[in-house]
Amino acid sequence: MGITSKTRKMLWGRSANRCAICRMNLVMDETETDDESVIGDECHIVAREKDGPRGDSVLTSEQRDKYTNLILLCKVHHKVIDDQSFSYSVQYLTELKEKHEEWVNKALDLDVVKQRDEEVYMTFIDKWSELCELENWKSWTSNIFFAGGYSLSIQMNDKLQEVKEYLFSRIWPERYLELNDSFENFTIILNDFFGVFHKHSERRGEYYYTERFYNVRDGDEEKYHGLLCEYNFHVDLLQDLLLELTRAVNHICDMVRRFLLPSYRINEGLLLIVSGPYKDLSMRVFRTQYKEKNRSTELYPGLDKFKEIRSTRDVCFGVGKDANDPEFLKNT
Ligand SMILES: [Zn+2]
Ligand SMILES: [Zn+2]
Protein backbone atom coordinates (compact mmCIF):
# COMPACT_ATOMS: atom_id res chain seq x y z
CA MET A 1 0.00 0.00 0.00
CA GLY A 2 3.04 2.28 -0.13
CA ILE A 3 4.17 4.84 2.41
CA THR A 4 1.28 6.05 4.55
CA SER A 5 0.70 9.72 5.24
CA LYS A 6 1.27 9.11 8.91
CA THR A 7 4.72 7.67 8.19
CA ARG A 8 5.47 10.62 5.95
CA LYS A 9 4.39 13.03 8.67
CA MET A 10 6.65 11.27 11.16
CA LEU A 11 9.56 11.45 8.77
CA TRP A 12 9.17 15.10 7.78
CA GLY A 13 8.21 16.30 11.25
CA ARG A 14 10.92 14.51 13.20
CA SER A 15 13.54 15.60 10.65
CA ALA A 16 12.27 19.19 10.73
CA ASN A 17 11.93 19.04 6.91
CA ARG A 18 15.70 18.82 6.61
CA CYS A 19 18.16 16.55 4.86
CA ALA A 20 19.69 14.15 7.39
CA ILE A 21 23.12 14.65 5.84
CA CYS A 22 23.49 18.35 4.92
CA ARG A 23 20.55 19.68 6.98
CA MET A 24 19.27 21.69 4.06
CA ASN A 25 15.65 22.82 4.41
CA LEU A 26 13.60 20.79 1.94
CA VAL A 27 10.42 22.85 1.87
CA MET A 28 10.62 26.25 0.25
CA ASP A 29 7.97 28.56 1.67
CA GLU A 30 5.16 29.75 -0.51
CA THR A 31 5.51 33.21 -2.01
CA GLU A 32 2.94 35.81 -3.00
CA THR A 33 2.63 34.17 -6.38
CA ASP A 34 3.68 30.53 -5.87
CA ASP A 35 2.81 27.54 -3.73
CA GLU A 36 5.30 25.83 -1.51
CA SER A 37 7.94 23.79 -3.25
CA VAL A 38 9.12 20.42 -1.93
CA ILE A 39 12.66 19.53 -2.92
CA GLY A 40 13.47 16.55 -0.71
CA ASP A 41 13.01 12.81 -1.07
CA GLU A 42 11.71 10.13 1.23
CA CYS A 43 14.50 7.62 0.65
CA HIS A 44 14.51 3.93 1.35
CA ILE A 45 17.35 2.68 3.49
CA VAL A 46 16.76 -0.87 2.32
CA ALA A 47 15.56 -0.32 -1.25
CA ARG A 48 11.95 -1.05 -2.12
CA GLU A 49 13.12 -3.61 -4.70
CA LYS A 50 15.41 -6.55 -3.97
CA ASP A 51 17.87 -5.46 -6.66
CA GLY A 52 17.91 -1.79 -5.59
CA PRO A 53 20.52 -0.13 -3.34
CA ARG A 54 20.88 -2.12 -0.07
CA GLY A 55 17.90 -4.11 -1.29
CA ASP A 56 19.17 -7.55 -0.38
CA SER A 57 17.38 -7.96 2.93
CA VAL A 58 14.83 -10.09 4.74
CA LEU A 59 12.45 -7.12 5.09
CA THR A 60 9.04 -7.65 3.48
CA SER A 61 7.87 -5.06 0.98
CA GLU A 62 5.48 -3.69 3.58
CA GLN A 63 8.28 -3.29 6.11
CA ARG A 64 10.36 -1.47 3.52
CA ASP A 65 7.81 1.35 3.47
CA LYS A 66 7.77 1.77 7.23
CA TYR A 67 9.17 4.70 9.12
CA THR A 68 12.23 2.82 10.43
CA ASN A 69 13.36 2.10 6.88
CA LEU A 70 13.06 5.65 5.55
CA ILE A 71 15.34 8.64 5.72
CA LEU A 72 14.70 12.18 4.53
CA LEU A 73 17.33 13.58 2.18
CA CYS A 74 17.89 16.32 -0.38
CA LYS A 75 18.05 15.26 -4.04
CA VAL A 76 21.85 15.41 -4.08
CA HIS A 77 22.31 13.16 -1.08
CA HIS A 78 19.62 10.79 -2.24
CA LYS A 79 21.64 10.21 -5.38
CA VAL A 80 24.89 9.90 -3.41
CA ILE A 81 23.60 7.24 -1.02
CA ASP A 82 22.11 5.19 -3.86
CA ASP A 83 25.22 5.47 -6.07
CA GLN A 84 27.55 4.64 -3.18
CA SER A 85 25.49 2.02 -1.44
CA PHE A 86 28.50 0.27 0.08
CA SER A 87 29.79 3.38 1.88
CA TYR A 88 26.24 4.23 2.84
CA SER A 89 25.28 0.96 4.46
CA VAL A 90 22.02 0.21 6.23
CA GLN A 91 23.65 0.61 9.60
CA TYR A 92 25.41 3.85 8.70
CA LEU A 93 22.24 5.42 7.32
CA THR A 94 20.24 4.35 10.36
CA GLU A 95 22.81 6.04 12.59
CA LEU A 96 22.78 9.19 10.46
CA LYS A 97 19.04 9.33 10.79
CA GLU A 98 19.10 8.87 14.56
CA LYS A 99 21.76 11.53 14.99
CA HIS A 100 19.82 13.92 12.82
CA GLU A 101 16.63 13.47 14.81
CA GLU A 102 18.57 13.97 18.03
CA TRP A 103 19.96 17.20 16.65
CA VAL A 104 16.47 18.36 15.65
CA ASN A 105 15.25 17.63 19.15
CA LYS A 106 17.99 19.58 20.86
CA ALA A 107 19.10 22.30 18.50
CA LEU A 108 15.73 23.07 16.95
CA ASP A 109 13.69 22.41 20.05
CA LEU A 110 11.14 20.19 18.32
CA ASP A 111 7.65 20.78 19.65
CA VAL A 112 6.85 17.22 20.72
CA VAL A 113 3.19 17.83 21.51
CA LYS A 114 2.63 19.47 18.16
CA GLN A 115 4.36 16.63 16.36
CA ARG A 116 2.22 14.11 18.26
CA ASP A 117 -0.99 15.98 17.40
CA GLU A 118 0.00 16.02 13.76
CA GLU A 119 0.68 12.30 13.74
CA VAL A 120 -2.76 11.73 15.24
CA TYR A 121 -4.30 13.78 12.45
CA MET A 122 -2.40 11.74 9.90
CA THR A 123 -3.67 8.47 11.32
CA PHE A 124 -7.25 9.71 10.84
CA ILE A 125 -6.46 10.98 7.36
CA ASP A 126 -4.97 7.67 6.22
CA LYS A 127 -8.04 5.79 7.38
CA TRP A 128 -10.38 8.36 5.84
CA SER A 129 -8.63 8.24 2.48
CA GLU A 130 -8.66 4.45 2.45
CA LEU A 131 -12.36 4.15 3.37
CA CYS A 132 -13.59 6.68 0.85
CA GLU A 133 -11.28 5.27 -1.81
CA LEU A 134 -9.62 8.49 -2.86
CA GLU A 135 -7.51 6.39 -5.24
CA ASN A 136 -10.64 5.31 -7.12
CA TRP A 137 -12.74 8.39 -6.59
CA LYS A 138 -13.37 9.09 -10.27
CA SER A 139 -14.30 5.49 -10.86
CA TRP A 140 -16.73 4.82 -8.02
CA THR A 141 -18.43 8.22 -8.30
CA SER A 142 -18.96 7.66 -12.03
CA ASN A 143 -21.79 5.25 -11.15
CA ILE A 144 -23.71 8.14 -9.61
CA PHE A 145 -22.87 10.47 -12.48
CA PHE A 146 -23.75 7.85 -15.09
CA ALA A 147 -26.88 9.07 -16.87
CA GLY A 148 -29.81 6.78 -16.17
CA GLY A 149 -27.86 4.74 -13.62
CA TYR A 150 -27.35 6.87 -10.52
CA SER A 151 -26.15 3.83 -8.60
CA LEU A 152 -23.74 3.04 -5.81
CA SER A 153 -22.21 -0.34 -5.06
CA ILE A 154 -23.22 -1.83 -1.75
CA GLN A 155 -19.58 -2.23 -0.88
CA MET A 156 -18.89 1.48 -1.43
CA ASN A 157 -22.06 2.41 0.38
CA ASP A 158 -20.93 0.46 3.43
CA LYS A 159 -17.46 1.94 3.37
CA LEU A 160 -18.89 5.45 3.22
CA GLN A 161 -21.21 4.67 6.12
CA GLU A 162 -18.19 3.43 8.02
CA VAL A 163 -16.14 6.55 7.28
CA LYS A 164 -19.00 8.72 8.50
CA GLU A 165 -19.05 6.96 11.84
CA TYR A 166 -15.29 6.80 12.01
CA LEU A 167 -14.87 10.54 11.56
CA PHE A 168 -17.71 11.31 13.90
CA SER A 169 -16.27 9.25 16.74
CA ARG A 170 -12.68 10.53 16.54
CA ILE A 171 -11.21 12.69 19.25
CA TRP A 172 -9.73 15.42 17.12
CA PRO A 173 -6.76 17.45 18.35
CA GLU A 174 -7.87 21.05 18.70
CA ARG A 175 -4.87 22.38 16.93
CA TYR A 176 -5.93 23.17 13.37
CA LEU A 177 -9.54 24.22 13.59
CA GLU A 178 -9.87 24.89 9.88
CA LEU A 179 -8.77 21.34 9.22
CA ASN A 180 -11.28 20.03 11.76
CA ASP A 181 -13.96 22.15 10.06
CA SER A 182 -13.08 20.73 6.68
CA PHE A 183 -13.78 17.21 7.98
CA GLU A 184 -17.00 18.29 9.62
CA ASN A 185 -18.02 19.83 6.31
CA PHE A 186 -17.31 16.52 4.56
CA THR A 187 -19.32 14.53 7.12
CA ILE A 188 -22.38 16.77 6.89
CA ILE A 189 -22.44 16.60 3.09
CA LEU A 190 -21.99 12.84 3.16
CA ASN A 191 -24.88 12.54 5.56
CA ASP A 192 -27.16 14.60 3.31
CA PHE A 193 -25.99 12.68 0.26
CA PHE A 194 -27.08 9.44 1.93
CA GLY A 195 -30.37 10.95 3.01
CA VAL A 196 -31.21 12.06 -0.52
CA PHE A 197 -29.89 8.91 -2.23
CA HIS A 198 -31.72 6.42 -0.05
CA LYS A 199 -35.01 8.24 -0.30
CA HIS A 200 -35.35 6.59 -3.70
CA SER A 201 -32.81 3.78 -3.72
CA GLU A 202 -33.58 0.14 -4.34
CA ARG A 203 -31.24 -2.74 -3.80
CA ARG A 204 -30.57 -5.09 -6.72
CA GLY A 205 -27.65 -7.48 -6.71
CA GLU A 206 -24.44 -5.75 -5.74
CA TYR A 207 -25.82 -2.23 -6.17
CA TYR A 208 -28.24 0.34 -4.89
CA TYR A 209 -30.01 1.89 -7.87
CA THR A 210 -32.13 4.99 -8.03
CA GLU A 211 -35.69 3.83 -8.40
CA ARG A 212 -37.50 5.19 -11.48
CA PHE A 213 -40.47 6.17 -9.44
CA TYR A 214 -42.17 8.03 -12.30
CA ASN A 215 -42.98 4.71 -14.03
CA VAL A 216 -46.55 4.33 -12.78
CA ARG A 217 -48.26 3.26 -16.02
CA ASP A 218 -51.80 4.02 -14.96
CA GLY A 219 -52.30 6.28 -17.96
CA ASP A 220 -52.48 9.42 -15.88
CA GLU A 221 -50.33 11.72 -18.04
CA GLU A 222 -50.35 14.61 -15.65
CA LYS A 223 -49.30 12.50 -12.72
CA TYR A 224 -46.59 10.88 -14.82
CA HIS A 225 -45.25 14.26 -15.85
CA GLY A 226 -45.24 15.51 -12.25
CA LEU A 227 -43.35 12.46 -11.05
CA LEU A 228 -40.89 12.68 -13.90
CA CYS A 229 -40.13 16.27 -12.88
CA GLU A 230 -39.57 15.11 -9.35
CA TYR A 231 -37.29 12.34 -10.55
CA ASN A 232 -35.20 14.75 -12.61
CA PHE A 233 -34.99 17.13 -9.71
CA HIS A 234 -33.93 14.27 -7.46
CA VAL A 235 -31.10 12.97 -9.67
CA ASP A 236 -29.78 16.49 -10.27
CA LEU A 237 -29.65 17.11 -6.55
CA LEU A 238 -27.99 13.77 -5.93
CA GLN A 239 -25.25 14.60 -8.41
CA ASP A 240 -24.86 18.11 -7.04
CA LEU A 241 -24.35 16.67 -3.57
CA LEU A 242 -21.67 14.32 -4.83
CA LEU A 243 -20.00 17.24 -6.58
CA GLU A 244 -20.10 19.13 -3.30
CA LEU A 245 -18.57 16.12 -1.57
CA THR A 246 -15.79 16.09 -4.15
CA ARG A 247 -15.21 19.78 -3.47
CA ALA A 248 -15.08 18.96 0.24
CA VAL A 249 -12.41 16.32 -0.34
CA ASN A 250 -10.32 18.70 -2.42
CA HIS A 251 -10.68 21.25 0.35
CA ILE A 252 -9.53 18.74 2.98
CA CYS A 253 -6.47 17.92 0.88
CA ASP A 254 -5.70 21.64 0.73
CA MET A 255 -5.92 21.90 4.50
CA VAL A 256 -3.71 18.84 4.95
CA ARG A 257 -1.11 20.42 2.71
CA ARG A 258 -1.35 23.70 4.52
CA PHE A 259 -1.12 22.38 8.07
CA LEU A 260 0.42 18.93 7.97
CA LEU A 261 2.22 17.77 4.88
CA PRO A 262 3.05 20.14 2.00
CA SER A 263 3.46 17.29 -0.46
CA TYR A 264 0.16 15.53 0.39
CA ARG A 265 -1.38 14.15 -2.83
CA ILE A 266 0.62 16.63 -4.88
CA ASN A 267 1.32 14.04 -7.57
CA GLU A 268 -2.28 12.86 -7.76
CA GLY A 269 -3.61 16.43 -7.89
CA LEU A 270 -7.26 17.41 -7.54
CA LEU A 271 -9.95 14.77 -7.51
CA LEU A 272 -11.91 14.79 -10.75
CA ILE A 273 -15.28 13.38 -11.67
CA VAL A 274 -16.54 12.04 -14.95
CA SER A 275 -20.15 12.35 -16.05
CA GLY A 276 -22.26 11.31 -19.02
CA PRO A 277 -23.00 10.04 -21.55
CA TYR A 278 -24.47 13.31 -22.84
CA LYS A 279 -26.74 13.64 -25.87
CA ASP A 280 -23.71 13.58 -28.17
CA LEU A 281 -22.61 10.40 -26.32
CA SER A 282 -19.58 12.14 -24.86
CA MET A 283 -18.31 11.68 -21.33
CA ARG A 284 -17.09 14.82 -19.64
CA VAL A 285 -14.51 15.27 -16.95
CA PHE A 286 -14.97 17.99 -14.35
CA ARG A 287 -12.70 19.42 -11.77
CA THR A 288 -14.41 21.15 -8.93
CA GLN A 289 -13.35 23.09 -5.87
CA TYR A 290 -14.46 25.87 -3.60
CA LYS A 291 -13.44 29.22 -4.97
CA GLU A 292 -9.97 30.34 -4.01
CA LYS A 293 -11.12 33.37 -2.05
CA ASN A 294 -13.04 32.94 1.19
CA ARG A 295 -12.86 29.14 0.94
CA SER A 296 -13.73 28.63 4.55
CA THR A 297 -16.85 30.81 4.39
CA GLU A 298 -17.99 29.01 1.26
CA LEU A 299 -18.39 25.59 2.84
CA TYR A 300 -21.60 23.58 2.65
CA PRO A 301 -24.47 25.61 4.13
CA GLY A 302 -26.90 22.74 4.84
CA LEU A 303 -29.25 21.04 2.38
CA ASP A 304 -31.99 23.68 2.08
CA LYS A 305 -29.61 26.54 1.55
CA PHE A 306 -27.41 24.43 -0.71
CA LYS A 307 -30.26 23.79 -3.13
CA GLU A 308 -30.55 27.53 -3.64
CA ILE A 309 -26.89 28.42 -3.87
CA ARG A 310 -25.61 25.44 -5.87
CA SER A 311 -25.85 27.41 -9.11
CA THR A 312 -23.12 29.71 -7.76
CA ARG A 313 -20.66 26.79 -7.54
CA ASP A 314 -18.10 26.16 -10.28
CA VAL A 315 -20.16 23.22 -11.64
CA CYS A 316 -23.77 22.23 -11.04
CA PHE A 317 -26.38 19.92 -12.54
CA GLY A 318 -29.62 21.35 -11.24
CA VAL A 319 -31.27 24.42 -9.72
CA GLY A 320 -34.17 25.31 -7.49
CA LYS A 321 -35.44 24.27 -4.08
CA ASP A 322 -37.93 21.64 -5.28
CA ALA A 323 -39.59 20.22 -8.39
CA ASN A 324 -42.25 23.00 -8.35
CA ASP A 325 -39.71 25.79 -8.21
CA PRO A 326 -40.23 28.01 -11.30
CA GLU A 327 -36.48 28.24 -11.69
CA PHE A 328 -36.26 24.44 -11.99
CA LEU A 329 -39.26 24.19 -14.33
CA LYS A 330 -37.78 26.84 -16.57
CA ASN A 331 -34.82 24.55 -17.15
CA THR A 332 -36.66 21.33 -17.93
ZN1 LIG B 1 21.59 16.83 1.62
ZN1 LIG C 1 16.69 5.74 -3.34
Question: What is d(CA 294, CA 278) in angstroms, rounded to the nearest whole number?
Answer: 33
Which tops the pLDDT comparison, 114 or 28? 114
pLDDT at residue 296 is higher than 70: no
Tell me which ligand sits closest to the C-alpha of residue 79: 2
**pLDDT by residue (tens digit) across 45-72?**
999 999 999 999 999 999 999 999 999 9
Tell me which ligand sits closest to the C-alpha of residue 40: 1
The answer to whether 187 touches 167, Cβ cutoff 8 Å, is yes
Residue type, 219: G
**pLDDT by residue (tens digit) across 256-269?**
999 999 889 988 99
Q: What is the pLDDT of residue 295?
A: 63
Q: What is the mean predicted confidence (pLDDT) over 92-104?
A: 97
Q: What is the pLDDT of residue 94?
A: 97
Q: How far is the CA of 63 from the centre of ligand 1 (A)?
A: 25
pLDDT at residue 327 is higher than 90: no
Q: What is the pLDDT of residue 134?
A: 97
* ipTM of this complex prediction, to 2 decimal places: 0.90
pLDDT at residue 35 is higher than 80: no
Mean of the per-residue pLDDT values for the chain? Answer: 93
Q: What is the mean predicted confidence (pLDDT) over 208-213?
A: 95
Q: What is the pLDDT of residue 242?
A: 98
pLDDT at residue 243 is higher than 90: yes
Q: How far is the CA of 267 from the centre of ligand 2 (A)?
A: 18
Q: How far is the CA of 43 from the centre of ligand 2 (A)?
A: 5
Q: What is the mean predicted confidence (pLDDT) over 194-215?
A: 96
Q: How far is the CA of 250 from the centre of ligand 2 (A)?
A: 30
Q: What is the pLDDT of residue 90?
A: 97
Q: What is the pLDDT of residue 164?
A: 96
Q: How far is the CA of 45 from the centre of ligand 2 (A)?
A: 8
Q: What is the pLDDT of residue 180?
A: 97
DSSP string covering 87-122: TS-HHHHHHHHHHHHHHHHHHS---HHHHHHHHHHH
Q: How far is the CA of 28 from the centre of ligand 1 (A)?
A: 15
Tell me which ligand sits closest to the C-alpha of residue 75: 1
Question: What is d(CA 120, CA 63) in angstroms, rounded to the nearest whole number?
Answer: 21
In the chain, the percentage of residues whose pLDDT exceeds 70 is: 98
Q: What is the pLDDT of residue 267?
A: 87
Q: How far is the CA of 39 from the centre of ligand 1 (A)?
A: 10
The answer to whether 171 touches 121, Cβ cutoff 8 Å, is no
